[in-house]
Structure 1
């Protein structure tokens, strides 16, 4: 019996030491995931609001998929890391197993996100946007049922101080092919230096030689293309590298969470074994007094 009890105490001490290491790593992993997920969300917001990258879906759907995937993955990872903090000190196999499941999903999504970032980089470097795709996107500006498209172009033109498609100086003339240019010979009011109702009327047909038109002349896509090459492409490279590191951390956390669950299982089985041995020993000791009594009576 002393040998069994000594083994039980030693195994319990070893389990506590290993358990502390698992919990410490899970907490460090949660801190890393919390920080990177926050950066991920803010980076996606910058791409959407400052660089208007989601408005370039007429160029390629990757310009829409990448930032949406980034912000979704960032929010998801943030939620998982908060969940990890809440249950990191609990020895609940089910709760710890859920971390492995959640981060397994995050790992797969992270791989897809890195792939989308590389696709965006390749598009910026190698693909030349089709002017007809821009004109097709501008075509229905101001029409009923295309309110989202109208708001998208208005927001982009006001923020970037641009007007029209992919040409510098004469970008505003691209509106001639849109409904607003065909029917009204006008450009959107959001093209004006001082935006007011009707300020873009009859300007689409104006000659480039007219210096003072009161509107921005550079095309929005021409400006965005320059921003993509100078700013967004390096961001995609950095994000791809960070994304690979993040995916590796998530994968390691999944493995260690599974190992933690396995260790809890082994510890519980060991405790059950020691309990059975202890109970059996106690039952044997109950018979010893009767044996002694019989020998004395004899």
Structure 2
């Protein structure tokens, strides 16, 4: 009877080892995906960060980047801990899983909170940022972001093209008679912002604010879903780790 229990426990341990190994392979690939989303956000989706009042959007991207890197390292550690049956490595592995779990949950929560606050933030700050900082010294990032925003989304001004009448730059001599930035033009040529006509200027009501809000909210949804989704999957990894740790402990006694 004793031999049967010992054999049964050994088989259970083997099953747990292969389950945890499979989990770690998938987990490593997941870490790669998380890092890719973080890099994608920072490299390709960061054009408009200078137009946002808070750093929450940027923070979620950095959290994903760090979490992805830690996930990849943890996946390798998990494989070593599993097949070497080192309980101290399993403890470290469990701690790292818990750390990643918390990072992913934080990223998901931040994305959800900022998703709710984004509309109010843009309404309060976007127009002032555009009219006060466009083409002003020290705000080159805002200028580039505004031009990209207006061209990408075929819009002009925060709420509508009339916003540019309040622009510090438009009212100065530096605008050279322009009524709008050239990026408001449907076909950009030097000085095209001087002609105020619907055939020349994007005069879409709702302006750029609705376009930018939708763009960022869609990306926040991806960040939030990925963060919370992976955090949910990690619960299984922590359960497998605890079971294997307990199994190894029993076999050593």
Alignment correspondent of 2:211: 223
Q: Give SS of 2:10's match.
A: helix
Q: CA deviation at 1:103?
A: 0.8
Mapped pair 1:136 → 2:128: yes
Contact 1:164/1:175 (<8 A) preserved: yes
Query: Aligned to 1:153, which of 139, 146, 161?
Result: 146
Alignment correspondent of 1:251: 235
Contact 1:51/1:227 (<8 A) preserved: no
Contact 2:108/2:226 (<8 A) preserved: no
Alignment correspondent of 1:30: 24
RMSD: 3.7
Q: Give SS of 2:84's match.
A: coil
CA distance 1:131–1:72, change in 2 (3 Å) = same
Q: CA deviation at 1:104?
A: 0.6
Stretches of structure 2 that go unaligned for 5 or more consecutive residues are none
Tell me the TM-score normalised to structure 2 length. 0.73
Tell me the TM-score normalised to structure 1 length. 0.64
Q: Give SS of 1:29's match.
A: helix
Contact 2:41/2:61 (<8 A) preserved: yes
Query: Aligned to 1:212, which of 195, 199, 210?
Result: 199
Q: CA deviation at 1:71?
A: 4.1
Stretches of structure 1 that go unaligned for 5 or more consecutive residues are 1-5, 271-298
**C-alpha distance in structure 1 between counterparts of 2:121 and 2:45, whole Å:** 20
Alignment correspondent of 1:114: 108
Contact 1:56/1:64 (<8 A) preserved: no
Alignment correspondent of 2:165: 176
**C-alpha distance in structure 2 between counterparts of 1:193 and 1:85, whole Å:** 56
CA distance 1:145–1:50, change in 2 (3 Å) = closer
**C-alpha distance in structure 2 between counterparts of 1:267 and 1:123, whole Å:** 53
Q: CA deviation at 1:144?
A: 2.8
**C-alpha distance in structure 2 between counterparts of 1:114 and 1:130, whole Å:** 21
